[in-house]
Amino acid sequence: MQPLCGTDPMLVLEFSMLVLESCPTQTIELFLSGNIPADLVNSYLKQHAPSMQGRYLELMLAMDENGISGNLQNEMVKSCIYVISFFLFILIDLAKQIVLPAPCS
C-alpha cells in the first residue's frame, strides 16, 4: 500500500479502514510514513474512525513534535477536551448517585 500513498492517498485511506481495526498502530504508521497529507488523514479519521483520530495525532506528535500544523494541534486539544469532559460528566453522574448521611445537628 505504501507506493500508493503518494499517487492515490484517498484509495489508501478507504482501503486501510478494514485493516485499521485489526492493526491500528501499523496502519497509522503507514499513514505517517507515506506521502499522505496529515490534514487529509486527520479529516478522514475524524469522519470514518473517530476513535483512531486521537491515536493518530498522538503518534504524529511523538514522531515530530515541531512538525504538527496549527490545525492538527487544535484538533488534538479538542480531542483532549472532549475526553476530559466525558470523564467529568461520568464523575458528576457518579457523585449524584452517592447518598451522604445527613449532618448531625
Instruction: Tell me whether residue 103 is in a domain.
Output: no
Instruction: Tell me whether residue 60 is in a domain.
Output: yes
Is the pLDDT at 82 greater than 70, yes or no? yes
The per-residue pLDDT for 65 is 65
How many percent of the chain have pLDDT more than 70? 90
Dihedral sign for Cα atoms in the order 31, 37, 43, 48: negative
Instruction: Tell me whether residue 105 is in a domain.
Output: no
CB-count exposure of residue 17 (10 Å: 0-12, 13-18, 19+): middle
Q: How many C-beta neighbours within 10 Å does residue 38 have?
A: 19
The per-residue pLDDT for 4 is 73
Instruction: Tell me whether residue 102 is in a domain.
Output: no
pLDDT tens, 58-76? 888 887 767 778 888 888 8
Greater confidence, 24 or 84? Answer: 84
Contact between residue 21 and residue 48 where contact means Cβ atoms under 8 Å apart? no
The residue to which cell 506521502 is assigned: 35
Is the pLDDT at 25 greater than 70, yes or no? yes
Contact between residue 69 and residue 38 where contact means Cβ atoms under 8 Å apart? yes
Domain that holds residue 67: 2-97
Instruction: Tell me whether residue 72 is in a domain.
Output: yes
* Domains of the chain: total: 1
How far apart are the C-alpha atoms of 50 and 46, rounded to whole Å?
Answer: 4
Instruction: Tell me whether residue 104 is in a domain.
Output: no
pLDDT confidence bin for 88, thresholds 50/70/90 = very high
pLDDT tens, 38-57? 889 889 888 888 878 888 88
Q: How many C-beta neighbours within 10 Å does residue 82 have?
A: 12
